[in-house]
Amino acid sequence: MNSEWLTTREKLFLLLSTSSKPLTSREIMRKLDIRREKELYEHLNHLALSLKRTEFTLIVFPPRCANCGYVFSLEKIKKPSRCPKCKSQKIIPPMFLIRSKKDV
Ligand SMILES: [Zn+2]
């Protein structure tokens, strides 16, 4: 697909709305050639807001601690650096998907 003319946020929307499975930040960054994780999370936060006026919704699978299973609750999308419960830094990153609100 030729999507050179799309903005990063439009590409992000296309990628997540057509993906068959949730994607991690790392997978998204590789596919869209985004260099900084912080930049991706900014895009995702803006996208989540703008989708509120549409029939689509950004589904966020929250990050989890690989050590104790603690599930992070996030007001803003980001990847936490360590677990507040066991202090482990082995964090399973958040995953993302976009679906029609009718299908959720
Ligand atoms: Zn933990």
Residues, CB-to-ion distance under 5 Å, ligand 1: 65, 67-68, 70, 83, 85-86, 88
Domain count, the chain: 1
pLDDT score of 36: 92
Residue 3 domain flag: no
The mean pLDDT of 31-55, rounded to a whole number, is: 93
pLDDT in tens, 55-96: 999 999 999 999 999 999 877 777 788 999 999 999 998 999
How many Å lie between the centroid of ligand 1 and the Cα of residue 60?
20
Residue with tokens 């994780």, as numbered in its chain: 37
Rounded Cα distance, 49 and 18, in Å? 19
Confirm whether 80 is domain-assigned. Answer: yes
CATH of the domain at 83: 1.10.10
As given in the structure block, the two tokens for residue 82 are: 């360590």
In this structure, is residue 82 part of a structural domain? yes
* Centre of ligand 1 from the C-alpha of residue 73, in Å: 13
Q: Compute, in angstroms, the gap from residue 90 CA to the centroid of ligand 1.
A: 8
Q: What confidence score (pLDDT) does residue 1 get?
A: 52
- pLDDT value of residue 74: 73
Structural domain for 58, as ranges: 8-103
* Domain assignment of residue 1, yes or no: no
The neighbour count for residue 89, using CB atoms within 10 Å, is: 11
pLDDT at site 53: 92
